[in-house]
Each structure stands twice: as structure tokens, then as C-alpha cells.
Amino acid sequence: MLRFFLRRLSHAVIVVCGVAVLVFSLIHLIPGDPVEVMLGEAAQPADLQALRHALGLDQALHIQFWRYLQGLAHLDLGNSLHSRRPVLDMLLERLPATLELTAAALLLAISVALPLGVIAALRKNSGWDRGAMAFAMLGVSVPSFWMGPVLILVFAVWLGWLPVSGRDGISSLLLPAITLGLGMAAILARMVRSALLDTLNEDYIRTARAKGLPMRTVVWRHALRNALLPVITLLGLQLGALLGGAVITETVFAWPGIGLLVVESIQRRDYPVVQACVLFISIAYVLVNTLTDLVYAQVDPRVRLGEFS
């Protein structure tokens, strides 16, 4: 276990370092000058040059990159070019909102997808199956940038039941959580159905049913546990995306999380904040994928950690 964890940790460090180099390179290729964004197009050249010098943007790229790496080595993400606040403080302020939205969307997705996928698999080619797969197809096909405004129009504007945007209690959490959770539930439901159908055709399932075990026991204690491996893989990828910040959904609902911070920082050409947000997203993906591998061994005893090396 320790050897596997250390190997995975070394791979994660390499990936994060590669992301840091790539993000720094790409962010400086974005058209636009952050100083002009801050001072406006009518600013005098002398003022622009003075601010560039104060922010260190007049230095060569390799010098800026070296300073960036030094900051990372000391867990210093720098200061925002726009607000001059520490970037780490800005991330920590937005992180609880992203975690809250992630937990709500994930809970909704699992609560809908698991029973829906199981019912569709047990009643294959029935009305339940066709209805579940129709829901899954609709959820996969409808993009969040369309579903979000439609939910706002129906439940906030027409009915007046829920707030349009912001983060003010459970009522403001429902619409963005539904927007994210339904799409994820549709994908997971299809995966649960497909994996469970394959597992139900295995010999050990037939043997368990031949011994007279109740169907509920066969499904929940034997078939579903072995069918969860591909579901866990997909769930890990989806969770990594949510932890990284659902950019579109947070922007539509003005949800003050990491995703909205990324959009605001890109518009302002705030290099340090964008770099820090992308690094956070990459670290979230790496950690979730590593934890997914560790969960494999707990879900299916046949899996050995050495197989993932």
C-alpha cells in the first residue's frame, strides 16, 4: 500500500509541475494587457509603464517564471494584479462555495442515478427501462448553459419560488445543484445500467439465484458491488470536474466559487489568480483519481494495488 501510494504521489507531483509550466506559458499568450485593463485605454503611457514596473510585468518571461516557481516552492501564489490581495486568500474564500455546490450536486446525482440504473437493468426493455434511458439521453444532451437559464426562467422568474442567483441559503443552492446534478445523474444512470446488466449474466450470479437467495440480496450484495468499478471511475472524473469549479454553472447563477473566480480573472487578465485556479483544478483531478484507485481495492477484493502500477 505504501509503495503504491508513494508511486502515485510522485506521478502527481510530475503532473502538477507540468501543469504549472504549461499554464504559465499559455496565460501569457492571451491577447490583452492587464495594466490597460486596470487603468483603462485613456491612461498615459508613463502611468502604464510605472504600473508594469510595480507589478513586475516589465521583466523578461524567464525571470517572471523563476519568481513564480520560487513562490510555489514556498506555497506563495502571489498577489492579484487587480485587487493586490494574496491569491491564496482569494482561493480559500471561494473554496467553501465550490465544495458546497459539489456536495449538493453529487448527492443529487447519486440519489437519482443509482436506483434509476438498477431499476432499468432489472426491468430491461420494459417501460421503466425506456423511461430511465430517455431521461439519461435528455440529461446528456441538454447542456448546462441552456438548462440553467431555463430553470431560472421557470422557478425564479415565472413561479418566484427560488432566487435567481447568489449564495444565500439552501434556496439559492437548489437551482445550480440541479443544473449540475441532473447531467451527472444521467451519465451515471447509464453506466450503472450497463455495468449491472453485464454482471447479472455472470455465473456466480446464476449460482446465487439457484441457491434460493432473494433477488434483493443477489443484486445489492453481489451484483451491484462488482458492477461499481466503472461507475467509480466515472464518478471520480465527474467529482474532479466539480471540485475544479463548474465554470458555466457558477457563472450563470453568479455562484461565488472557483469557477466564477476563473472567469472574472480571465476577463481582468489577472495572471496570478488564473494560474492558481488552474493549479487547484489540476491538483483536484490528481487527488480524486488517486483516491479512486485506492477505493477500487475496497469495493472489489479481487483487485490488487499492484495491478495499477
Please tell me whether residues 201 and 247 are part of one structural domain: yes
What is the pLDDT at residue 41? 67
Short-list 252, 254, 236, CA closest to 244: 236
What is the pLDDT at residue 4? 62
Short-list 84, 86, 61, CA closest to 71: 86
Please tell me whether residues 182 and 135 are part of one structural domain: yes
Please tell me whether residues 34 and 66 are part of one structural domain: yes
Q: Which of 5-9, 71-75, 261-265 has the highest average model confidence (pLDDT)?
A: 261-265
**The three cell numbers locating residue 134:** 430517455
Please tell me whether residues 107 and 47 are part of one structural domain: no
List, for residues 162-195, the tens digit of each pLDDT value.
Answer: 898 888 888 899 999 999 888 888 888 888 888 8
Section 28-55 average pLDDT? 69
Please tell me whether residues 170 and 219 are part of one structural domain: yes
List, for residues 280-292, the tens digit of each pLDDT value.
Answer: 887 888 788 777 7
pTM assigned to the model: 0.79
Confirm if 261 and 245 have CB atoms less than 8 A apart: yes
Does a structural domain hold residue 181?
yes
What is the pLDDT at residue 154? 93
- Residue 299 CA to residue 302 CA, distance in Å, equals 9
Please tell me whether residues 51 and 123 are part of one structural domain: no
Residue 308 has pLDDT above 60, yes or no: no
Q: Which domain holds residue 46?
A: 16-73
Section 12-21 average pLDDT? 80
Query: Could you tell me the CATH number of the domain that includes residue 103?
Result: 1.10.3720.10
How far, CA to CA in Å, does 47 sit from each of 43, 65, 81, 111? 7, 24, 15, 56
Please tell me whether residues 195 and 240 are part of one structural domain: yes
Please tell me whether residues 61 and 122 are part of one structural domain: no
Q: Which of 62-71, 76-85, 106-115, 260-269 has the highest average model confidence (pLDDT)?
A: 106-115
Please tell me whether residues 237 and 148 are part of one structural domain: yes
List, for residues 141-164, the tens digit of each pLDDT value.
Answer: 888 888 889 999 999 999 888 898
Please tell me whether residues 156 and 220 are part of one structural domain: yes
